[in-house]
C-alpha cells in the first residue's frame, strides 16, 4: 500500500520508522491496540512481509482494515522519507543500523544524515511531535562504568564505538530541532532491550551455549545492568508522546532526553544465567579476568581490520564488547517517572518468563542431536567410541589400542611376530568368550555371532562404491589443478601433502601415539566447537578465494 493512499480516510496517523525492527514491532502493536492511532510502518523493504502469526493475528487484521499501512522508505532518501510522513501527526523515529557492525560510514549515513532527513520531513509535512529512540550508550566512554546515572550525565569526550557516537550526534540534532516550525521533540534512551521477537540477544546467547562458550564470565561477574522488557520500551514512547501532546506536558518534556529501564538493576551475568537456565542450558561459572581477555580482543580486532576486505566476518570478541560485558551500566528513571508518568508495565521476572517461553525452538532439548563429526564417522559405533558418547566402549577401545601399542612397539618384536601374538590373543579371547555361559553371577554375557564378522553383498557394494567415488573425486581434483585456476583447492592439496610429509618423517611409534591422540580429541573438539571452526574455515576459504581471484585477474592483465 502506498503511503499517500494510506493517509486518506479518518483517524489520526502516526509513523514508526524502522517499523519492522524488534522494539518497533511492539510499539506498532501497542499504538494500534490503543485505538487512538492509525499506524504507518516505514522500513527499508519495498513491501511488507508479515510473519505467519502476524498475518493471522491482530497486525494482519489491522492492515486489512486500513488501520495500518506500509511505506517503503530509506532514511537516506529525502523524497521517500517525506512521502512516508505525509498526513502524519506524530513520528516515532526508531530506525537504526545494527549496532554490532562497527562501520562509521554506515552509522553516520543512517543515524546522522538519516535523522536530518527525518527532521526536515517532519517540518515539511507539518508533523507536530517527533519522539526519537536514542541509546544509553551515548553517555558511555567505553572505559568507566555507569551506576544509576541520570540525564545530567554529559556526553563523553570519546565514545565506545561509532554507533554510540552517531546516536549521540543524532540525539543532539533532535533536541536542537525542538520548537522549529512548531515541532516538539524528545529522546528516549531505552537500556538493554529484551523480550519476545529479539533476534540478537537470545539467539546469540543460545548459539554460544551450543558452541560451549557460555560457561565463561568476563570479569568478576558483579557488574550490574539495567535490562528493559520490550513492552516497557514501547510504553515509554507512548508516555512521551502523550506528555508532549498536552500544553503543560510540552513545556516540561519538549527538547529533553529520558532513560527508560525496568527499574530493577540486576547483575549482568545473573540475567544471562536466568535466560540460559530457562532454556535448559548451564549457567556461566568460569571467570576470566578482563586483563586476560582484553589483549586477545585487541589481536582479534586487529586481525579483522587486516582481513575484513577479504571477506572475514565481524568478530564477536572485540575490546568494546569486553568493556560492555564487564562494566556497570545502570540508569535512573526518576525523570521519566516524574515528567512522563512512566512506570514499567511488566516486571523483570515476568519479562524473563515471557521471553524464555517465546523461544521453544531454542530449548536445549531441541538442540541438533547429530553433529557433523558424528555424520563423518558414520553415526554408528565408531562415532560413539571416538566422540566419547559411550564411555565404557571408548575406554575399552583405548585399552585395546594400548595393548596393540605395547605389542607392536615396546616389546622389541618384529612386525610379523607382534601380529602373530595379537592374533593368538584374539583367538584365545574369542574361544574363552564362546565357552562362557550366557549368565555369569547375574551378569548377561553377549555372545558374538559369526554374522558380526560377515560382510554382506550390500555392504561390499557400499565399500566398493565409496572407494570408486573417492578415486573419481581425486581425479576431478587433479583435473581442476591442471587448469591452474582453483587456488583454494591448490592450498588444500598443499596442506594435505604437508601433513603427510610430516607424518611420514615420524617413526611409526610416534605416528601411532599422535594419531590416536588426534582422533580421540580432534573429533570431540570439532563436535564441541563446530560452529566456530566452520566459521573460521569459511573465513579462510573466503580469503583464499579472494586471493585466488586477485592472482587470476593480475595474470590475465599481464597476458
Strand pairing class (443-444; 439-440): antiparallel
Q: What is the dihedral of CA 5, 6, 9, 13, to 10 degrees?
A: -140
| Residue 417 cell numbers, joined | 611376530
Which letter does DSSP use for residue 75 in this model? T
Concatenated DSSP letters of 21-50: SHHHHHHHHHHHHHTS-EEEEEESSSS---
| Residue 176 cell numbers, joined | 536542537
Q: How far apart are CA 94 and CA 75, in angstroms?
A: 11
Q: Which of 429, 420, 404 is nearest to 508 (CA)?
A: 404
Q: How far apart are CA 259 and CA 146, in angstroms?
A: 13
The greatest distance separating any two alpha carbons of the chain, rounded to the nearest whole angstrom, comes to: 101
Q: How far apart are CA 216 and CA 285, in angstroms?
A: 6
Q: Which of 85, 187, 95 is nearest to 127 (CA)?
A: 85
What lies within 8 Å, CB to CB, of 385 at 6+ separation is: 393, 394, 397
Is the distance from CB of 328 to CB of 223 less than 8 angstroms?
yes
Q: How far apart are CA 180 and CA 182, in angstroms?
A: 5
Burial bucket for residue 545 (CB in 10 Å: 0-12, 13-18, 19+): middle
Q: How far apart are CA 240 and CA 246, in angstroms?
A: 11
Is the distance from CB of 95 to CB of 114 less than 8 angstroms?
yes
Q: How far apart are CA 135 and CA 187, in angstroms?
A: 9
Identify the bridge partners of residue 14 per DSSP, sorted by sequence position. Answer: 39, 90
Ranges of beta strands (E only) in 360-474 are: 439-440, 443-444
Active site residues per annotation: 167
Which letter does DSSP use for residue 190 in this model? E
| Residue 308 cell numbers, joined | 575484513
Is the distance from CB of 141 to CB of 197 less than 8 angstroms?
no
Amino acid at each position: 500500500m502506498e503511503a499517500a493512499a494510506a493517509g486518506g480516510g479518518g483517524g489520526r496517523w502516526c509513523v514508526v520508522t524502522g517499523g519492522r525492527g524488534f522494539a518497533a514491532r511492539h510499539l506498532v502493536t501497542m499504538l494500534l491496540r490503543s485505538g487512538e492511532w492509525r499506524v504507518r510502518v516505514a522500513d527499508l523493504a519495498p513491501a511488507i512481509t508479515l510473519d505467519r502469526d502476524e498475518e493471522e493475528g491482530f497486525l494482519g487484521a489491522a492492515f486489512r482494515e486500513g488501520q495500518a499501512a506500509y511505506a517503503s522508505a530509506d532514511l537516506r532518501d529525502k523524497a521517500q522519507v517525506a512521502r512516508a510522513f505525509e498526513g502524519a501527526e506524530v513520528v516515532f523515529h526508531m530506525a537504526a543500523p545494527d549496532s554490532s557492525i562497527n562501520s562509521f560510514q554506515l552509522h553516520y549515513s543512517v543515524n546522522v544524515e538519516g535523522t536530518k532527513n527525518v527532521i526536515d520531513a517532519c517540518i515539511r509535512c507539518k508533523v507536530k511531535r517527533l519522539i526519537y529512540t536514542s541509546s544509553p550508550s551515548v553517555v558511555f566512554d567505553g572505559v568507566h562504568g555507569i551506576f544509576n546515572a541520570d540525564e545530567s550525565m554529559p556526553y563523553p569526550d570519546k565514545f565506545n564505538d561509532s554507533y554510540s557516537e552517531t546516536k549521540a550526534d543524532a540525539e543532539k540534532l533532535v533536541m536542537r530541532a525542538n520548537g522549529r516550525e512548531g515541532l516538539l521533540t524528545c529522546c528516549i534512551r531505552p537500556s538493554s532491550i529484551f523480550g519476545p521477537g529479539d533476534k540478537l540477544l537470545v539467539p546469540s546467547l543460545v548459539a554460544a551455549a551450543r558452541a560451549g562458550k557460555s560457561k565463561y564470565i568476563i570479569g568478576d561477574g558483579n557488574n550490574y545492568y539495567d535490562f528493559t522488557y520490550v513492552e516497557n520500551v514501547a510504553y515509554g514512547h507512548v508516555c512521551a508522546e502523550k506528555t508532549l501532546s498536552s500544553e503543560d506536558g510540552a513545556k516540561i518534556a519538549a527538547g529533553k532526553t529520558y532513560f527508560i529501564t525496568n527499574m530493577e538493576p540486576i547483575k549482568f551475568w545473573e540475567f544471562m544465567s536466568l535466560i540460559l537456565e530457562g532454556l535448559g542450558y548451564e549457567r556461566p561459572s568460569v571467570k576470566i579476568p578482563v586483563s586476560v581477555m582484553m589483549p586477545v580482543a585487541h589481536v582479534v580486532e586487529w586481525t579483522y581490520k587486516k582481513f575484513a576486505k577479504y571477506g572475514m566476518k565481524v568478530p564477536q570478541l572485540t575490546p568494546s564488547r569486553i568493556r560492555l560485558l564487564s562494566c556497570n551500566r545502570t540508569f535512573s528513571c526518576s525523570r521519566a517517572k516524574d515528567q512522563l508518568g512512566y512506570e514499567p508495565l511488566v516486571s523483570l521476572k515476568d519479562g524473563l518468563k515471557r521471553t524464555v517461553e517465546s523461544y521453544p525452538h531454542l530449548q536445549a532439548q531441541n538442540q541438533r542431536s547429530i553433529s557433523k563429526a558424528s555424520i563423518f564417522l558414520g553415526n554408528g559405533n565408531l562415532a560413539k567410541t571416538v566422540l566419547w558418547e559411550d564411555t565404557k566402549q571408548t575406554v575399552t577401545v583405548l585399552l585395546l589400542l594400548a595393548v596393540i601399542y605395547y605389542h607392536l612397539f615396546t616389546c622389541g618384536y618384529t612386525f610379523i611376530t607382534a601380529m602373530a601374538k595379537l592374533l593368538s590373543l584374539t583367538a584365545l579371547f574369542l574361544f574363552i568368550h564362546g565357552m562362557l555361559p550366557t549368565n555369569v553371577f547375574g551378569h548377561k554375557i553377549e555372545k558374538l555371532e559369526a554374522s558380526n564378522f560377515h560382510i554382506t553383498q550390500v555392504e561390499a557394494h557400499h565399500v566398493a562404491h565409496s572407494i570408486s567415488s573417492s578415486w573419481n573425486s581425486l581425479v576431478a581434483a587433479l583435473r581442476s589443478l591442471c587448469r591452474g585456476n582453483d587456488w583454494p583447492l591448490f592450498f588444500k592439496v598443499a596442506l594435505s601433502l604437508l601433513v603427510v610429509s610430516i607424518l611420514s618423517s615420524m617413526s611409526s611409534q610416534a605416528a601411532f601415539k599422535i594419531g590416536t591422540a588426534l582422533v580421540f580429541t580432534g573429533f570431540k573438539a570439532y563436535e564441541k566447537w563446530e560452529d566456530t571452526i566452520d566459521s573460521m574455515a569459511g573465513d579462510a576459504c573466503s580469503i583464499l578465494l579472494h586471493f585466488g581471484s586477485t592472482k587470476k585477474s593480475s595474470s590475465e592483465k599481464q597476458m
